[in-house]
Chains A and B, each alone.
Chain A
């Protein structure tokens, strides 16, 4: 009787460890594209942005790293502070991870000058070489938001003049979209941080 019981337990444990692999590879999100007849995963298009330090970042400078991106504006009275709180939570958890960065894009380049972005970053008390506050012209940032699957519109009736979603997007070292969460919902950010961890493991094993 004892034997049978222990055999059942051992078999069950083995089965469980087989059927539930611990690290599942994150999916590639977005529509696949045909390039020269070969199907390729969706990539964030070319960008070139100025940061709070007046330095430029682009796809190439980001490429050894994975990063998360969000869209906001400083005078935003609605969801932005909540999303920033969650971005800060992500920053705190991966602060010591050299291949992890964050980009917050301003949707309001007219009011959010480089100087104001710098002040904002300093008030958040974050490292300027880890978390970029990026600025470009109005049309470019709107297009860029769409390319990250973030809805953003100029809307004079919305609080602060812009209507936008609070999604936080995870991008891998090749520019593919690998995950997202709702920055306004702390509960959705918790599993998202595990996704970041998984992606970091993925690029470490690739190296």
Chain B
């Protein structure tokens, strides 16, 4: 009788796997980014645009942005293949594991955000 064995062995498992596959090569395993080329996750920009993260992850970003006072111009690629559910898991992984924010975004709020993406 093993009810629990088959369950996940840690938290944010899918978010971690997806982050490693889609985000890590640029934003790095710890979210630190790369000099003035790729912005860090830990930033004013991330917090100020928290309700746009779903759109940014799915559609990418191709505009000059200011992150922690520095300009970044390199294009972020889109990820049209990610489902709403996968996007929630990525955001909650970044938030709780990498940024230690202790907050939780719901699937519904991601769906609402995605419905209202400006591009």
Contact = CB atoms under 8 A, between A and B. Distances in A.
B41 interface: no
Nearest to A78: B25
Contacts of B24: 82
A78 B23 CA distance: 10
B28 interface: yes
Contacts of A123: 35-37
B25 A84 contact: no
Contact of B25 (A81, A88, A125): A81
Which applies to chain A's interface (DSSP): helix, strand, loop or mixed? helix
A77 B37 contact: no
A124 B25 contact: no
B26 A77 contact: yes
B94 interface: no
Interface footprint category on A: 10 to 19
Interface string B21-38: 000111010000011111
B36 A124 contact: yes
Nearest to B28: A85
Nearest to B27: A81
A52 B28 CA distance: 26
Contacts, number: 32
Q: Which of B25, B26, B28, B34 has the most CB of A within 10 A?
A: B25
Nearest to B24: A82
Nearest to A82: B25
Interface in A87-120: 88, 120
Contact of A124 (B26, B28, B37, B77): B37
Contacts of B37: 81, 84, 120, 123-124
A82 B34 CA distance: 8
A81 B77 contact: no
B38 A81 contact: yes
Interface of A: 77-82, 84-85, 88, 120, 122-125
**Nearest 10 CB-CB pairs, A to B?**
A123-B36, A81-B26, A124-B35, A123-B37, A81-B34, A82-B25, A77-B77, A85-B34, A125-B35, A78-B25
Interface of B: 24-26, 28, 34-38, 77
30 contacts: A77-B25, A77-B26, A77-B77, A78-B25, A79-B25, A80-B25, A81-B26, A81-B28, A81-B34, A81-B37, A81-B38, A82-B25, A82-B28, A84-B34, A84-B37, A85-B28, A85-B34, A88-B34, A88-B35, A120-B37, A122-B36, A123-B35, A123-B36, A123-B37, A124-B34, A124-B35, A124-B36, A124-B37, A125-B35, A125-B36
Given A81-B25, A84-B37, A124-B34, 6 more contacts: A81-B38, A88-B34, A123-B37, A124-B35, A125-B35, A125-B36
